[in-house]
Structure 1
């Protein structure tokens, strides 16, 4: 029977080492704080917190590296020129090549670099500038645990949609898209019986990079229906991100009656319908955007 703390099963603490240039200290400290806040069970070695007056610099760094399960090297235009960072990286790579610490080195990009350090060319990078906090913290934790960080769903299973009309303005409405998992290279459409008079878009939720591009003019098919198409451009979506397209039809045209469907777009046409005119919808008060435009 387990009845004392000494009898409890202890989960081994994962230890990681942060190698970086002193000029990048502020950014690396912020990463350190964010990672520990997300995963307080981690033991992240960084010189600011581990080396005090009177310590042997070489001994403490060697001890930190030897005890670490993973070696995170932060690569910036400055750090790749620093001899000290290179020495730490060489030591880490030697341990990895010898097989004493397989998959030990994890590169983290802090900015664009002209030259990748030797033996890192084939490694997967964690890019702090292209990824959201949720993404890079998940990737760091996954690299420590040896698991896949980003559970990616097929677009048909990932993209969600809902639609609403606007109180007192029957010609105005919106479609809101969201994702359940990380996504890139995603396009979606809104299909209507008449052309949309004006439209814009807004992020409801999400720490995103980049944005969407929309066709300058709605596309039409042989049946006379119209398609307003948006495509993901230079960005990635994180779980829970929401993107809303707000539309206004000419006066006298009902949004509820003109809306046909919304779903995925495969580059040449609709590939999967997510919602249609028969789907549940809500009625909401006017908001900024086309909702506030005067009736045509």
Structure 2
């Protein structure tokens, strides 16, 4: 199955963890910071390692937005890798709010109105 990196803001950690569990239950390998970064670990090193092996970056956004230093670096890194021809796709997931303008043309999974339908659509995109 696929390697999936979950990118989210701390304010959305509960919804992001639920999503991570759902994707993992579907059989995919999920990189979720709360599961992958332990006490004493280098945060930058662990995130870099997770991004390096991912096929899909699931970009979770809400009314809190996506413009925090960590989440911005994560999705911009994935976008750069994508534009360089690497096999990584950004899959936006809406918990609320709106996507950054540079990603506005990408269809998103809307979990804010119907979690089950949005999850089904997201899992269909993850091959």
**d(CA) in 2 for partners of 1:121, 1:129:** 17
- Bigger relative CO (Cα 8 Å, ≥ 6 apart): 2
Verify the 8 A CA contact 2:5 2:51 in the aligned structure 1: yes
Whether 1:25 aligns to 2:13 is yes
Query: Which structure features the higher share of helix residues?
Result: 2
Bigger Cα Rg: 1
- Asked if 1:142 is matched to 2:127, the reply is no
User: CA RMSD of the aligned region, Å?
Assistant: 1.5
More strand per residue: 1
Question: For residue 112 of structure 1, what is the aligned residue in structure 2?
Answer: 97
Q: Superposed, which structure 2 residues align to 1:1-296 within 5 Å?
A: 13-37=1-25, 39=26, 41-102=27-88, 104-113=89-98, 116-133=99-116, 135-145=117-127
1:36 and 1:88 map into 2 onto residues whose CA distance is 20
* Contact map agreement 1:19 1:73 (CA 8 A) in 2: yes
Q: Which runs of 5+ in 1 are unaligned?
A: 1-12, 146-296
The aligned length equals: 127
1:85, CA displacement in angstroms?
0.9
SS in 2 for 1:78: coil
Q: Secondary structure at the match of 1:81?
A: coil
Contact 2:109 2:119 (C-alpha < 8 Å) held by counterparts: no
**Which ranges in structure 2 are unaligned for 5 or more consecutive residues?**
none
Distance in 2 between residues matched to 1:132 and 1:52, nearest whole Å: 29
Q: What is the TM-score when the length of structure 1 is the normalising length? A: 0.41
Task: Tell me which stretches of 4 or more aligned residues in structure 1 moved more than 6 Å.
Answer: none
Whether the 8 Å contact between 2:8 and 2:66 is mirrored in structure 1 is no
Cα distance in 1, alignment partners of residues 14 and 121 from structure 2: 21
Contact in 2 for aligned 1:79/1:85 (Cα 8 Å): no
Residue pair 1:17, 1:65 contacting (<8 A) in 2 also: yes
What CA distance in whole angstroms lies between the structure 1 residues aligned with 2:23 and 2:76?
25
